[in-house]
Structure 1
Amino acid sequence: MSDDHTSADVSSKGRGVDSIPIRFALMCGALTAFGVVGWRMLSAWAPDQVPGLGGDLVSIVCVGAPTGAVYWAARKLARQIEALRRSAEAVVAGDFDRASAIDCACEVGGLAASFRKMVDHLNASIVRMNMLAYVDPVTGLPNRAVVEHMLERMVGEGGPGGAVLFIDLDGFKRVNDTHGHASGDELLRQASARAIRRGFGREPGELDACANPFGALCDRPPRDVVFARFAGDEFVALVPGPVDDATLHRRADAIVAALRRPFDVYSQEVKIGASIGLARAPRDSNDAREILTFADMAMYVAKQAGRGRVAAFDPKVRRAAIERAEIETELRHALAGETLELAFQPKLDAHTLECVGVEALARWTHATRGVIAPGVFIPIAEQCGLMGALGAQVVSMAAQQARLWRQAGRALAIAVNVSPAQFESPDFARSMLELCARNGVDPNVIEVEITESMAMADIAATTRRVCALREAGMRISIDDFGIGYSNLSHLSRLPIDDIKIDRSLVIDIGASPRSERILRALIEMAHALGDRVIAEGVETQAQHDFLRAAGCDCVQGFLFARPMTAQALEAWFAARPREASARQTQAPRAAAVA
């Protein structure tokens, strides 16, 4: 049965309320008249016996008085019933704010009170349902459904247009995995509130909630900024109306700067960042879904440019996003088909130039695109959650190659760089050891390289993982040392074997006396801690001479050898006769995945 039909039935069934007073009065008058007549007959009483009254006047008074009283009472009752009926019809029509104003001690008043309780409970249930549907339970912000609803009205026909800011938190997963979901939720609350205050100069409660008092979405364009949690660690801000590019970028830059500052989450200092993509309507598109996609594309461009940046959408961004999506799909196929390869770059003793190990670098040769640089496919793997699979495949290939070299009599260990996504996994140490066991190699043939920033992010967790690996025989190296934010106190207690000096410090040798003094100090510090020092990115003889004189233990770079296949590495060894005897006595120490 349709709603219209139901409403019509309710209306037609309620029309008899208006006739209640007349029907009650007629019934009362008839009954009273019968009573008067019966009384007269039984008592043989004649009206004309009453002094000063006509015979019929007494009868009229006896019948009319109660009839009038009943009519008045029935009319009042009918009005109350009518008011209750109208309230019910209002609820049926969707007006849940119409409460009955009946307030009396009669049965209808009790019914009206029960009706009011029912409406209040219904309203509370509606508010609760709307909150579940449109409010993010963690931050209290509008959710994705609100963004899509209001964006349609902002950029659609008759809408004011405006801008979309797509905000993604950099490093949030690390915090969530390391400190737990409760800390992650608190970080989301603090980050969103800080972004609103710094980016828009408002408090969260001052922005457009896009809802009526019952929590239902408004059927109008947004009147002010809408800031919503879109998904996971992503937020979307809708800025309605005209806004110039400079103001928009200034707001986005303010959000990036604000989120770069440390957060205090349950007495723990936590650091994250943010990458923001911008898109404008109608300049970029008048389609709500498309404008949101464009802002998302621009955000990924900001991430690829180094994170902690702001990027605006343009046609180049679209082409880059399409290419990125294609590479992501093809990378998934490459991982599934195990078509990635490894290249190996030797590491040499700085004084004897004997090979002490190799660094393994992931390489991808595409069937139609040719060689795809690691700087292209590794960031994509990080962003789409493929680093776990990529890292595991690289470790597996490195272990297989190490086994082949051992079987051929060449004792070369291979170290692998691991990504933050791999290292921060609670099962990292166990998975590394399982990969070694699965490929039939001893863990001491693999060296794990972690960056300085990764090591210092959670020193307690780092220590647990490093200790588990070292107990199994793996060597641990701190990669890219000198460009992070090491706490020397923590570093002194961290059980590592090697420190790799970043190429950015090596390249300044001969050009910056200050950099040279820093290098000498780093080498002395590492030796004082009992660690071996490896300098990467050595490209000139002058750099090698300086590092050797400063006491650096090992060197690696284009001056000595470029990354090469395992077959090419065999030819490289054959061209260096001294390596034949050196490999029998040296315990190889290195290799990494870039």
Structure 2
Amino acid sequence: MSEPLRYERLEEARLGALQELNLLDTPPSESFDRITRMASQIFNLPISAVSLTDRDRQWFKSRVGVDHRSIPRDKAPCAQVAESADVLVISDFAQDACYADSLLGRSGIRFYAGAPLITREGYGLGALCVLGTEPRAVAASEVAALRDLAAMVMAQIELQHAFGRVDPLSGLPSRNQFLDDLADLAAEHPDEARIAVLVDLARPEQVGAYARVMGPGRIDDMVREAARELRRLLGPERKLYHTAATQFAFLAAPGVTQDNYVRLLAEGHRQARQRSMTGMLLTSAIGVSVFKPCATAPQDVLRALYSAVQDARSSPDLVSVYSSSADEAYQRRYRLLQDFGPALRADNQLRLVFQPRIDLPTGRCIGAEALLRWNHPDLGPVSPGEFVPVIEHSPHAQTMTAFVLDLAIAQARRWQEAEHRLVMSVNVSAANLHEPGFGSSVESALRRHGLAPERLELEVTESAVMQDADQARRQLDALAAAGIRLAIDDFGTGYSSLAYLQDMPAHIVKIDQSFVRKLGDGEREKSLVRSMISLSHDLGYRVVAEGVENVETADRLVAMSCDEVQGYFYARPLEVDQFEVWLQEHKQSAEREAKINAEL
């Protein structure tokens, strides 16, 4: 290798080491200024600086007697110190052939002494230097003092670098160090497949509960104990990282196979849980990801491990290998959650469709259920079965219901003005039942649009009511007192089927479609639905059967004295204009049928 090429590569490596420390262009620091002042006092000189040699400048992390923050690198003596990694003394600039006409020489500097700032890997970052306006000599003791001060500067640099690279609780390398080491691995062994492992000691809510009982200090003890145990298990040849409060990561040795290693992890994890006396490790989980450093960014490796740990929570042995399909599904859910807020503010993404509710004895349409639809600008139409469960457990839950209520009540008012006296049904989530003032906001919307309370029906599920039965009961009582109709949705799929209904201020019971669709399967299924209808009637509720898809099911429900039905047999959820056309056609059809029956 030619000398210029060798120098160029060494210089790039040196600059890389400097950049990695994140010191350039950072604010002043008293810890560095203290050493700089000490150097000025020891040498009795007006100027001192911690000078870092960048590509084309000398930048001063700390300075005494200097106004500017940097000078050009060309003919700067600190650059020579960084390149040589040795002490440089210039007794008199005027007598030095190289530096006499330098920027410092022309500005009146006559004396310079600098000791190198050297990393553990041997790279020279710059110098701790002192300067004067008069020529002078230096004693060996002064050179030794300058070296000691430079070593103090490097200790401070390493301390600042370690802060954020070493976890103070466990003493292990931190997440930042893990990411850096993954980046180094990509440079050194880009095509070598590796296995990364993440150990998560417990769920966050379990850590919180444990800390509440035992105190946060016990959590710290548990983490330190786990760190010691994992280091013992891994041995000195494997590096362990503390990547989050209760999470540790490491890389398996090169060349190990995935299946064998996962089996070893599962067995080791089982034994660790059996040995654990704290109870916390019983909830630990292990995520595994296989990756190629050249193809997977460090942050993506860590994200894959997080995903695998979440999947491990539902695995029998609490160990799971990263699945791209499961991760894609999670990423999609996350995107839906992120994009729903903007969708609420847009005017072309969210809309309502309406499914008719039919009175079985008369065949008339007496109501409609408002259903939310989302046409995502990138993903296209998103099924409500996909996005509603995500949004219902997010901060958007209350806003979503308010959005649907406002549109639905406004549409019900328009239908009322067109002499279609329909009851508008809107789904309500558990979050709404815990929302202070929810009843007042519903009444306010009714007043704003001029709709009578009895023209609105709110549907709540059994599970939503039972999350906090007392609070839900108070909300439902207030809504019922305001004259708003209430319906128990998805009846039969929740906690209890009928026991709690006798105390609920509801008017309607909606039998879940999973029961209705099985009516043709046998006598047992028929008997179950018949009992639901009979008992609901005995308790004073009107019964709606969901999911009616054929005439046979409708006829069976008529025979069971069911009050209302909805389902594809009558109509799918319809756009507003489609609903109005359907409504007119259905009304005419019902009138013709009534006339024929009367003639017969």
> In structure 2, what is the equivalent of residue 206 of structure 1?
225
* Alignment check: 8 A CA contact 1:345 1:359 kept: yes
**Per-residue CA distance 1:274-301 (angstroms, 9 max, x = gap):** 9999452545876543223334566899
Q: Deviations over 1:127-149 (max 9, x none)?
A: xx99xx977xxxxxx9xx99634
Alpha-carbon displacement from aligned partner over 1:288-328 (angstroms, at most 9, x marks no partner): 4322333456689999x9xxx99854444565566556555
Cα displacement (A) at 1:460? 0.4
The Cα of 1:380 is off from its aligned counterpart by: 4.5
Deviates more, 1:565-574 or 1:288-297: 288-297
Seen in structure 2, the aligned counterparts of structure 1 residues 152 and 335 have a Cα distance that, compared at 3 Å, is same
Confirm or deny that 1:376 pairs with 2:386: yes
C-alpha change, 1:353 and 1:275, in structure 2 (3 Å) is: farther
* Residue in 2 that maps onto 1:568: 578
Q: Residue 353 and residue 452 in structure 1: after superposition, are their counterparts in 2 closer, same or farther (change >3 A)?
A: same
Residue 186 of structure 1 is aligned with which of 205, 209, 224?
209
8 A contact 2:354–2:370 mirrored in 1: yes
Name which of 134, 141, 148 aligns with 2:175: 148
Question: TM-score, normalised on structure 1?
Answer: 0.56
In the alignment, which of 389, 409, 418 is matched to residue 408 of structure 1?
418
Q: Give yes or no for contact 1:479–1:500 (8 Å, CA) kept in 2.
A: yes
> What per-residue deviation string (whole Å, max 9, x for no partner) do you get for residues 15-41 of structure 1?
xxxxxxxxxxxxxxxxxxxxxxxxxxx
Q: How much has 1:387 moved relative to structure 2?
A: 2.5
Q: Distance in 2 between matches of 1:549 and 1:318?
A: 49
Choose which of 392, 399, 404 in structure 1 pairs with 2:402. 392
- Counterpart of 1:162 (choices 186, 196, 216) is 196
Shift of the 467–397 alpha-carbon distance from structure 1 to 2, 3 Å rule, reads same
Can you list the C-alpha shifts for 1:247-300, whole angstroms capped at 9, x where unaligned?
76899999xxxxxxxxxxxxxxxxxxx999945254587654322333456689
Going from structure 1 to structure 2, the CA distance change for 1:499 and 1:280 (only over 3 Å counts) comes to same
The residue that corresponds to 1:332 in the other structure is: 341
Given that residues 433 and 471 in structure 2 are in contact (C-alpha distance below 8 angstroms), is that contact kept between their aligned partners in structure 1?
Answer: no
How far residue 358 of structure 1 moved from its aligned partner, in angstroms, is 0.8
CA distance in 2, matches of 1:282, 1:297: 14
Counting matched residue pairs gives 411
Give, as a single letter, the amino acid of the residue that structure 1 aligns with 2:505.
Answer: P
Q: Which moved more, 1:161-170 or 1:553-562?
A: 161-170
Once the two structures are superposed, the pairs formed by residues 68-87 of structure 1 within 5 Å of their partners are: none
Render the CA deviation track for 1:69-98: whole Å, top value 9, x for unaligned.
xxxxxxxxxxxxxxxxxxxx9xx9999xxx
Q: In the TM superposition, what is the alpha-carbon distance from 1:354 to its structure 2 partner?
A: 1.8
**Could you report, residue by residue, the CA deviation over 1:226-255 in whole angstroms, capped at 9, with x for unpaired residues?**
6955xxxxx75646647744676899999x
Q: Which has the larger radius of gyration?
A: 1
Report deviation, 1:362.
0.8
Structure 1 SS opposite 2:548: coil
Q: Distance in 1 between matches of 2:269 and 2:397?
A: 29
1:428 corresponds in structure 2 to 438
Choose from 456, 460, 463 the match for 1:450: 460
Give the structure 2 partner of residue 26 of structure 1.
Answer: none
What SS class does the counterpart of residue 580 from structure 2 fall into? helix
Q: Which residue of 2 aligns with 1:57?
A: none
- The DSSP-based 3-state class of the residue aligned with 2:521 is coil
CA, structure 1 residues 336+287, in 2 after alignment: closer, same or farther (shift >3 Å)? Answer: same
Mapped to 2, the partners of 1:501 and 1:299 lie a distance apart of 38
Question: Contact 1:146 / 1:210 at 8 angstroms: preserved in 2?
Answer: no
Partner of 1:418: 428
Moved more, 238-247 or 486-495: 238-247
**RMSD between aligned residues:** 5.2
Q: Does 1:544 align with 2:578?
A: no
**Superposition pairs of residues 61-72 of structure 1, within 5 angstroms:** none
> What is the letter of the counterpart of residue 529 of structure 2?
L
Aligned pairs for 1:175-574 within 5 A? 185-186=208-209, 206-208=225-227, 223=240, 228=244, 238=249, 241=252, 244-245=261-262, 278=287, 280=289, 282=291, 287-295=297-305, 313-316=322-325, 327-328=336-337, 330-339=339-348, 340-366=350-376, 369-382=379-392, 385-486=395-496, 488-574=498-584
Q: What runs of 5+ residues in structure 2 fail to find an aligned partner?
A: 1-31, 44-148, 156-162, 187-193, 231-236, 272-282, 593-600
SS of corresponding position for 1:575: helix
Q: Distance in 2 between matches of 1:378 and 1:361?
A: 10
Query: Alignment partner of 1:577: what SS?
Result: helix
Determine the C-alpha separation between the residues in 2 that align with 1:565 and 1:531. Answer: 30
Summarize the Cα distance change of 1:312–1:560 in structure 2 as closer, same or farther, 3 Å threshold: farther
- Larger RCO (alpha carbons 8 Å, 6+ apart): 1
CA contact (8 A) 1:347 1:359 kept: yes
Instruction: Indicate the residue corresponding to 1:60 in structure 2.
Output: none
Aligned letter for 2:198? V
Q: 2 CA distance for matches of 1:344 and 1:457?
A: 28
Contact 1:573 1:579 in 2 (8 A): no
Shift of 1:430: 2.5
Hey, what's the Cα distance between the residues in 2 that align with 1:250 and 1:545?
58
State whether residues 369 and 426 of structure 2, in contact with CA within 8 Å, keep that contact through their aligned partners in structure 1.
Answer: yes
Tell me the CA shift for residue 186 of structure 1.
Answer: 3.3
d(CA) in 1 for partners of 2:202 and 2:438?
26
Q: Percent identity?
A: 28
Measured in 2, the distance between the counterparts of 1:414 and 1:338 equals: 22
Verify the 8 A CA contact 1:459 1:490 in the aligned structure 2: no
